[in-house]
Chain A
Amino acid sequence: MNIITALNRKYIPYTFTMLLSLCINEKEHIDAYLLNSELTSEDVGEIRKALSEYDIEVHSLTVDRQKFSDRLPHNSQWSIETYYRLMMLELLPQTVDRALYLDGDMVINKSLSELYHVEFEGAEIIACDDKSGLNIPDSYGPKHNEMFREAYAQEYRYFNAGVMLLNIEEMRKKYSFQTYLDAFEAWNYQMEAPDQDILNWVHWKKVAYVDCMVYDLFARVAHNAEITYEEVKEGTAIVHFAGAKPWENGNFHFDIERLWWDYAKLTPYYDELLKGFVESAMTDTTVADYLRGLVDSCRQQKATIDKLMDGIKKIAGARSGG
């Protein structure tokens, strides 16, 4: 089973947690290709050593950072490494005919063998509905809707690029890194979701789907639908912590995140992850600011209500007085 993921040094503990969870649940041999431009040989050695008891071979594929324009939208949420998957056709060994791309912010909770060996039946990419099915066109911005006008007219289902089974053999014949670079140019680097928009735009006619509730469950979407840790543990193969992370404090926490910590606990990075969590709790003011905003908004609206009530009373009073 060929697995591809992309990471920078900061992401090592998180990506490692994903890889470990994959190994624990997989019987097949795994070749893991790490697309990166800053991992040292010590980093890779450490990862290999920590996974040595599993049937996995870790390959570091060095990506030339210079090939990725600074014009590509990136921020603290989307690092430049997000784009590295677009160079996989060039970097993977010729022997690779299919590969499963996995984001680093997930845990693999069951064997992926069945998914991995699905027939492509002409598809270039097999993926899941974005946002675990909450991918109606209206939930995206105007630029997105412009990009996918033609596709949506044909009932296109926008996929999440965090889990992709890639028909490398077919894709090699038709596409290259340049294909995606041309697509960036065509859209003048104005994408809303960096690599994902481009992958959807390039491949939309050749996408097949697997069940997003099994293979790309967005943890927070599941939580909002009142799905519990136990249910996820029982029925989901890939849990995706898209958005705010279990290891940080940019949002409320919830029970499904325990699944991530269950695996994090088994990594050599556990203490570091615990400390990072505490540090983030003390310094990330997102939740406090959000709550304060809500309190302020309540107070302002209450003041408006009082003013309106006064206005009504005044008119009513004047009338009864007159």
Chain B
Amino acid sequence: MNVAASFNKKYVNYAIVMLTSFCESNPGHNDIFIMHSELEKEDIDKLSAALQKYGADIFPIDVSKEISNLNLPVSEDWSPEIYYRLLLPDKLPGHVDRIFYLDVDVIVHGSLQDLYEEDFEGADLRACHDSNNTSTLDDFSDKTKEMLLPLYGEEFPYFNSGVLLINIAQMRGKYTFQTYLDAMEKWDYKMDAPDQDILNYIHHDKVKYMNWEEYDLFARMAYSAGWRYEEVKEKNKIIHFAGAKPWNFDNTHYEIERFWWEYAALTPVYRDLMENFIEYALTNTYLEDEAIRLCNENKEFAKAITDLYDALSKLQASTKGN
């Protein structure tokens, strides 16, 4: 199978975990295409060494030239690498007719072979409803609604761009990077989820949906909705750690992150990952700050309640007096 991913130097270890999960769950030959603009030989070597036992071939695709003069919107949450998937039809070699694109924060724990071979039935790509299909129109910005409501209607089947099966044979030549750049121009670059908004915009009527429970389960949302490890194991093949990651301390942790650590344990970077995890635990003050903030808020509310009771009883007393 063909699979593509896009990441920078900081994400090499996490990419190793994701690609290990893919190879481990999909034995047989896999070609892995890495879209990047800063990886060096040592990074690629590290990746190759980690995946060597699976016999995967790794093809780095440097897109630094294509993106060098573009002023694409980036933020703390969105690195430039999120755009590189938009270059797949341009940059993949001619023999590639279909390919998975997977975000680095997913874990593949089931075979994707059947899905891979399914007929596209004319679709450009296959994707899943975003955020476990829980989004309502209120969750989208005015700009997104302005651009996508005319295309999607009230039903709004907005898809997630973290797990895609792309019909490269059909898209090659028809959609170029320029197609997407022109679309961004039409959006005044006011995308909330840059690449995802644009992919929804361009391919809105050419998507064959996959079951999100099976192929793009958002882990934390699933956990909050009551999913547990066994159920995930049974019903799901690709779990997506959107938002706070299993490997850092931007939030609390939960049992279905075990999927991530189980594959992390199979990689040569396991100890590094655990040590970094502890480093994050020791240095990230988010959780403690959040607790302090909430405690203070509770104290202020408690005081406000006392004051309001006073005001109310005074008011009641004076009303009776009248």
A213 to B37, CA, bound (A): 51
A153 on interface, CB distance cutoff 8 Å: no
A139 to B278, CA, bound (A): 32
Residues of chain A with a CB closer than 8 A to B305's CB? 301, 304-305, 308
Cβ < 8 Å to A, chain B residues 287-321:
287-288, 290-291, 294-295, 297-298, 301-302, 304-305, 308-309, 311-312, 315-316, 319
Please, what's the 1-or-0 string for B17-30, where 1 marks a CB less than 8 Å from any CB in chain A? 00000000000000
Which residue in chain B gives the minimum CB-CB distance to A288? B252
Residues of chain A with a CB closer than 8 A to B283's CB? 255
Query: Of A253, A274, A305, which contacts B304 at CB under 8 A?
Result: A305
Please, what's the 1-or-0 string for B257-295, where 1 marks a CB less than 8 Å from any CB in chain A? 110010000000001001101100111000110110011
Residues of chain B with a CB closer than 8 A to A294's CB? 291, 294-295, 298
Residues of chain A with a CB closer than 8 A to B281's CB? 249, 253, 277, 281
Residues of chain A with a CB closer than 8 A to B282's CB? 253-255, 257-258, 261
Q: Do most interface residues of chain B lie in helix, strand or loop, or is the interface mixed?
A: helix
Which residue in chain B gives the minimum CB-CB distance to A297? B298
Residue pair A278, B274 in contact (C-beta under 8 Å)? yes
B253 on interface, CB distance cutoff 8 Å: yes
Residue pair B258, A282 in contact (C-beta under 8 Å)? yes
A301 to B179, CA, bound (A): 52
Please, what's the 1-or-0 string for B96-130, where 1 marks a CB less than 8 Å from any CB in chain A? 00000000000000000000000000000000000
Which residue in chain B gives the minimum CB-CB distance to A258? B282
Query: Of B255, B278, B288, which contacts A252 at CB under 8 A?
Result: B288
CB of A238 to closest CB in B, whole Å: 20
CB of B130 to closest CB in A, whole Å: 24
Per the CB 8 Å criterion, the residue count for chain B at the interface is 36
CB of A62 to closest CB in B, whole Å: 35
Q: Do most interface residues of chain A lie in helix, strand or loop, or is the interface mixed?
A: helix
Given contacts A257-B282, A277-B277, contact A282 B261 (CB under 8 A): yes
Which residue in chain B gives the minimum CB-CB distance to A277? B278
Residues of chain B with a CB closer than 8 A to A255's CB? 282-283
Which residue in chain B gives the minimum CB-CB distance to A290? B291
Residue pair B277, A281 in contact (C-beta under 8 Å)? yes
Residue pair A283, B295 in contact (C-beta under 8 Å)? no
Residue pair B287, A252 in contact (C-beta under 8 Å)? yes
Q: Name which of A8-16, A157-165, A311-319 contacts chain B.
A: A311-319
A255 to B305, CA, bound (A): 37
B78 on interface, CB distance cutoff 8 Å: no
B59 on interface, CB distance cutoff 8 Å: no
A298 on interface, CB distance cutoff 8 Å: yes
Which residue in chain A gives the minimum CB-CB distance to B257? A282
A266 to B205, CA, bound (A): 59
Which residue in chain A gives the minimum CB-CB distance to B265? A275
Which residue in chain A gives the minimum CB-CB distance to B254? A282
Residue pair B315, A316 in contact (C-beta under 8 Å)? yes
Residues of chain B with a CB closer than 8 A to A302's CB? 301
A295 on interface, CB distance cutoff 8 Å: yes
Please, what's the 1-or-0 string for A252-289, where 1 marks a CB less than 8 Å from any CB in chain B? 11110110010000000001001101100111010110
Residue pair A308, B309 in contact (C-beta under 8 Å)? yes
Residue pair A315, B308 in contact (C-beta under 8 Å)? no
Residues of chain A with a CB closer than 8 A to B312's CB? 308, 311-312, 315
Residues of chain A with a CB closer than 8 A to B252's CB? 285, 287-288, 291
Query: Of A271, A285, A319, which contacts B271 at CB under 8 A?
Result: A271
Residue pair A291, B291 in contact (C-beta under 8 Å)? yes
Residues of chain B with a CB closer than 8 A to A271's CB? 271
Which residue in chain A gives the minimum CB-CB distance to B246? A282
Query: Of B275, B288, B301, B322, which contacts A305 at CB under 8 A?
Result: B301
Residue pair A282, B291 in contact (C-beta under 8 Å)? no
A186 on interface, CB distance cutoff 8 Å: no
Given contacts A271-B271, A278-B261, A278-B274, contact A312 B315 (CB under 8 A): yes
CB of B16 to closest CB in A, whole Å: 17
Given contacts A254-B288, A282-B255, A282-B257, contact A298 B304 (CB under 8 A): no
Query: Of A249, A258, A291, which contacts B294 at CB under 8 A?
Result: A291
Residue of B281, B290, B309, B311 with most chain A CB atoms under a 10 A cut-off: B281
Which residue in chain A gives the minimum CB-CB distance to B319? A315
- 11 A-B pairs whose Cβ atoms sit less than 8 Å apart in the complex: A249-B281, A254-B288, A257-B282, A274-B278, A275-B274, A277-B277, A281-B277, A291-B294, A294-B294, A308-B312, A312-B315
Chain A residues packing against B (C-beta within 8 Å): 249, 252-255, 257-258, 261, 271, 274-275, 277-278, 281-283, 285, 287-288, 290-291, 294-295, 297-298, 301-302, 304-305, 308-309, 311-312, 315-316, 318-319
Can you name 12 extra interface pairs (CB under 8 A) apart from A274-B275, A312-B312?
A: A249-B281, A252-B287, A281-B253, A282-B253, A282-B257, A291-B287, A291-B294, A298-B294, A298-B298, A308-B305, A311-B312, A319-B319
Chain B residues packing against A (C-beta within 8 Å): 249, 252-255, 257-258, 261, 271, 274-275, 277-278, 281-283, 287-288, 290-291, 294-295, 297-298, 301-302, 304-305, 308-309, 311-312, 315-316, 319, 322
